[in-house]
Structure 1
């Protein structure tokens, strides 16, 4: 997928929270967005997914102006969003969570559905458990599986490692690296080592504006840490 963001602005009341945001995501690559709390990262993702309209600017998907598209239409175009907090259906079983997403996108019973589930073996072991009975890390794996069964071309992740035990963080990292070349990823992340291990490029936000951007190989850990340290 070709995904371009051009001079995006957003306001909450009189406060401007995004200022002239521009970047692009190369097909099959992972772009990590870094920044301190309050930099506008989560707001940016909601604008890109169509959950809130931008005040100004353009979002392009494969060259088409998608700025006015609904979240549903963007999902149909190949975007999948895993928000901070995961937002699974806690009363449904693991299997019902996955199957609901697959049915909504016409992938139920397909090889694509099976391949997405196979990325997270623990989910098969817990297939009949309520989603709310899973640990935070297991719920994150479930949220990712729900997104992947839709066969996304761009996976949008808001802090997927937050509050998760290290072994599951490592497992999620392996999955994202396995997707490279097939699925583009837009990653908002506070865990710097995870972002460095996963991303091909970085965009740094500060007070709602891009203050730096570049390829991963051109940025050192010490340099990147300056933008997220409290």
Structure 2
């Protein structure tokens, strides 16, 4: 999936949160969106998913404009979103969380379930446990698995390492790295080493504006640190 954002503006009442934001994600690549807290990163992701309306600009999937589409239609078109805070169904079991997402997208099968269990072995152990009983890292794995069963072309992740112990951060990093080339990734992340290890390209937001962008391999860690450190 090729994903493109052009000249995106967004307002909360009279306050403008995003200004002329634009970028492109090539098929199978990972784009990291970086910036300090309050830069507009989460607002941007919600605009891309149709959770928040945009004031101006375009969002395109393979040259089809989806700017006016509702969230469920964007999801059906191949966008999957893992929000900050995970937002799993706490009272449903792990299996029910995954089945609910897959059935809603017409992708449910024994093969899909087995694929998620292979990617996230801990979920098999917790299959009949309520989602709310899982640790933060386990819930994050469940949230990613729930997104992946929809068979997305673009996986959008908001702070996937937040509040997670280092060994699970490494496990999630390995899973996302294995997905590159198969699907596209859009990653908002404060943990710079994690972002650098995954991303092919980056954009930096400051006060809702793109102030830096480029290929990750041609940038310096010092430059990126300057934009995200407090």
Shorter chain as normaliser: what TM range?
Answer: over 0.9
The answer for the alignment partner of 1:10 in structure 2 is 10
TM-score by length of 2: 0.98
Q: Which residue number in structure 1 is paired with residue 168 of structure 2?
A: 168
Q: Which residue of 2 aligns with 1:43?
A: 43
Residue 89 (structure 2) pairs with residue 95 (structure 1): no
| Aligned ranges 1:67-216 → 2 under 5 Å | 67-216=67-216
Q: Does 1:31 align with 2:31?
A: yes
Aligned length: 230
1:45-88 per-position Cα deviation (integer Å, ceiling 9, x unaligned): 00001111100000011101111011111101000000000000
User: Quick check: 1:29–1:185 contact (8 Å CA) kept in 2?
Assistant: yes
Alpha-carbon distance between aligned partners in 2 of 1:60 and 1:131, rounded to the nearest angstrom = 34
**Matched residue SS, 1:226:** helix
Partner SS state of residue 171, structure 1: helix
SS in 2 for 1:227: helix
SS in 2 for 1:90: coil
Distance in 1 (alpha carbons) for counterparts of 2:203 and 2:81: 18
Distance in 2 between residues matched to 1:27 and 1:165, nearest whole Å: 30
Distance in 2 between residues matched to 1:116 and 1:150, nearest whole Å: 11
Question: Post-superposition shift, 1:114?
Answer: 2.2
| 1:13 CA drift (Å) | 1.4
Instruction: Judge which range, 194-203 or 99-108, deviates more.
Output: 99-108
Cα deviation for residue 93 of structure 1 reads 0.6
TM-score scaled by structure 1? 0.98
- Return structure 1 stretches of 4+ with deviation > 6 angstroms: none
Moved more, 107-116 or 192-201: 107-116
Gapped regions of structure 1 (runs ≥ 5): none
Cα RMSD, aligned residues only: 0.8
Identify unmatched segments of 5+ residues in structure 2.
none
Give the C-alpha shift of residue 36 in structure 1: 0.2
SS at match of 1:168: helix
Supply the distance in 2 between the matched residues of 1:118 and 1:217 (Cα, whole angstroms).
31
Alignment pair present for 1:222 and 2:226: no
CA distance in 1, matches of 2:137, 2:84: 13
Aligned to 1:65: 65
CA distance in 1, matches of 2:134, 2:113: 21
